[in-house]
Every structure is written in structure tokens, then in C-alpha cells.
Amino acid sequence: MKNIYTLLIALLFVGGAMGQTTLDLTFTAVDSAAYVRLDSVKVMNRTQGGETMIYWPDTTLSLEINTGDSLLCVGYATFSTVGIAEGRDDLSWFTVYQNYPNPLQDQSTISMYIPEKGKVQMMITDLQGRVVLRSDRQVDEGHHFFRFQPGGGNLYFFTAQWNGISRSIQMISAGIQNVMNCRLDYAGSQSGKAVLKNSMQINDFIIRQSGILDNPEESTTYTFQFATNIPCPGTPTVEYEGQVYNTIQIFSQCWLKENLNVGTMIPGSEQMTDNSIIEKYCYNDEPDSCDKYGGLYQWNEMMQYTIQQGTQGICPPGWHLPTDEEWKVLEGAVDSQYGIGDSEWDVYWRNRGYDAGANLRKTSGWLNNGNGNDLFGFSGLPGGSRAEVGSFNYTGSCGYWWTSSEYTYPWGRHLRDIAEGVDRIKYSQYLGFSVRCLRD
């Protein structure tokens, strides 16, 4: 029998204050259709700034927001690995994983994998090398979790020794300094093989994250989805204007797996117009290019001549054009170093992140050895672009996608064959880019 775990967050506001609303937000989590326990939830106000972290088994927090504020909620859950190749048998496969969150505020989780039953000796030292905490524990084979609460320092080193093998991590404390001593509490265990620690599986570590972005106006239940690289549950395909599109679930986002290819082709030398007909460009004015890469669209045509971000535009009913913030959630979900909500994704210009671009690119079709890992099934292709003057450029080496957000100029995304990150740039609305749709 499956247990259902619920993490309840009540958002409380000053009664009667102008522009404020009282909401009750309830959070649950599933992996495909099976319920899983949330270890913690981070709530970030993307409009006003600020964030709050809540840890299981805590159930409530007080938070004040204004009506219309955008909240990014990031849920963290612990999983055994599935579908990973059999691990090594040697005892050196003793692993201590980086604590999360790091930097930490008031507390953080440290996890480790023990290949065989035995005693683990743990020690925490400060920047001066002074031992601030020691702890020994007899543990069984499997994953083990510890909750760390910092004292008055800013930097700590955690070292665990098992069977004569030592592993260490560095922990940064960014919270309010605590005059109390450091504390390390055992938080439980989980059986199963450890995850191989390499770039192909880096997002399949012990703690997984899933993000939901919303502008709540009433009490709502949010369900974090932790399944990824599968067709969206309940919606494996979408038929739209004579085309059949596959879908891909990337944690709590459901994307079309292919670029949109809808509308009537017009020559690249012509501008798109508001004429009640969806128009598209095909690379080099060749219809086969649209079959391969999807259509290229000017921003206004894609938006269907509105400026409302998140609008349906030329997407199928029940789907919308992703916003700049929704692209940031995707990037954080697929990157191995910078998570959802990290300030790295707010950076303007080139090659943001560590490997998000490589993880979004398809494993074939890119020039200059630029094929990606496609770890999450996004299958980004190098469809190139249509320039303002009507020429076509960069097929095979670059892929460009519009967002539905603008700040003076529309925001777009750019994947390059020679870069591991993702570019975030404001582009002219007269350029022709690829379009992906996101389920409402």
C-alpha cells in the first residue's frame, strides 16, 4: 500500500491590506502516478524577491505576498535509482554527496552511500581546522541521511570515514549566524545501490528537484512531478492542424517534443503580417526543412499580435508559449550544477549554466561534434534562424527559440554546437526562430 505524504504551506497576510490575499497552498508529489514524500519545499517570490525553505516533517509557514506575485515553488524528494547499470563491487564505492541546499540557511541535508554494513566516523571542522563536531554511527548498507545545523561559522568541512576510506565535502553557511553549537542528526536510511557519479546521471543523485511556477489567486493544490524523459502522463501525443506531436515530461513541465510546424509557408524575403492566417518560414524556403526542424516564426506572428506573456499564440488549445521564467525552470531542471531558481539563470547573455545546453541538445544532427546528451528528451535541433533581411543562417550549428516574454525586446534562447550552456538574449522581433509549446 502506498503512503500519501502531504506538505502543507499556509500563506498568511495582513488582514485587509491593499492588494494582498490569503491563500492556502497544499503540496504533494508523484513520480509518474506513484506518490512520493517531499523532503523539503523552497518557495521563492520571483516578483518581490525573497525565499523561504520548509523541511519535512514541518507542515506550515507564514508568508506575505501581494496579489499578482509570481511564486516559484521547488520541491525536493529522495529516490532510489531505477534503470542504472549495476554498480561496482569494490569497497571504494563509498560516497558522500554534496549537501543540499548549499549554501545553507538554517539547516541542510547530507547523504552518503555505504557499500557494506559498518561504522561511519564523521567529523566537522571549521575554516581554521578546529573540530566542532564528532559523531560515530553503526549503519547498514544503503543510503543514509543526516540533518546538519550550523553554528556561528561561514564555512565547514564534513569528513566521513568508513572502512579506512575518507570522503569530504565543503559546506557554506549563508544564514544568520547562530551562537549555538553545530548539530548533526540522523534523518533515516534507504536501501538500494548508489548512483554512479558522472555527467550522464548527475541529475539522478539522491535528491531530485521539481519546480512549479504560478501566480496564485486562490487556494490551490500543487503536485510536483518527478518523472522525466517519458511521454506526458495522459497526453502522449497531440494532434494539431494535421500534425502529430509527441510530448515529453521534464519533471513538472510537459513540453511538445518537437518544434512547432504550423501555418502556410511564405518566402523568407517577406514579412509576416496580421492577416488571420498563421504564416511560417522554412529554412532556405524549402518545405522539407520545416518537416525536419519545424517552422521559423517572427515574434509577433507567434504571439498572434498580443503582448501577453504566456499566451496560447500559435500553440494548440490547452498549450501556451513558454515565458522567460518557464525557460529558467527548464534550464535549472536539466543542469547538473545550477538548480531551479538559481541566480545563474537570471544572467543576460551567453553560455549560462554548466551543461544545460548539452543536456537539451539532441544526440544527432549537430555539426562540429556538437551533438548533445539529450538526457531529458527535449531533443533540441539546430534549426537555424531567419535574419531580418530575409536570409537564413546557422542551420546545423545553432538552434533558436522564442519565449513569450519581452523587456524592450523579446527574450529568446540559443543553443550552440560549441557551448555547453544556454544563451539568454533579447532579439529583434523580426527574426525568425523556432517555437516550442508548454502545456497549461
Q: What pLDDT, on a 0 to 100 scale, did the predictor assign at position 12?
A: 32
Average pLDDT of the segment spanning 69-83:
77
Element (H, E) at 120: strand 118-126
Ordered structural domains, the chain, with CATH: 7-80+208-226 (2.60.40), 95-194 (2.60.40.1930), 252-439 (no CATH)
By CB atoms closer than 10 A (0-12, 13-18, 19+), residue 143 is: buried
Site of grid cell 508548454: 438
> How does pLDDT run across 61-73, given as a tens digit for each residue?
667 788 889 999 9
**Is a pLDDT exceeding 60 seen at residue 87?**
no
pLDDT band at 258 (very low <50, low <70, confident <90, very high): very high
DSSP letters for 149-192: E--S-SEEEEEEEETTEEEEEEEEB-S---SSPPEEEEEEEE-S
Strands 228-230, 319-320: parallel, antiparallel or unpaired by DSSP?
unpaired
pTM passes above 0.95? no
Whether residue 115 is predicted with pLDDT greater than 90 in this model: the reply is: no
Burial tier of 230 (Cβ tally within 10 Å: 0-12, 13-18, 19+): middle
Burial of 226 (0-12, 13-18, 19+ CB in 10 A): buried
Distance CA 281, CA 332 (A): 31
Kindly tell me if the per-residue pLDDT of 367 is higher than 80: yes
Residues in the chain: 440
**CB proximity list for 90: less than 8 A, separation 6 or greater:** none
Task: Share the mean pLDDT of the chain.
Answer: 85
Task: Give the mean model confidence (pLDDT) for residues 287-302.
Answer: 98
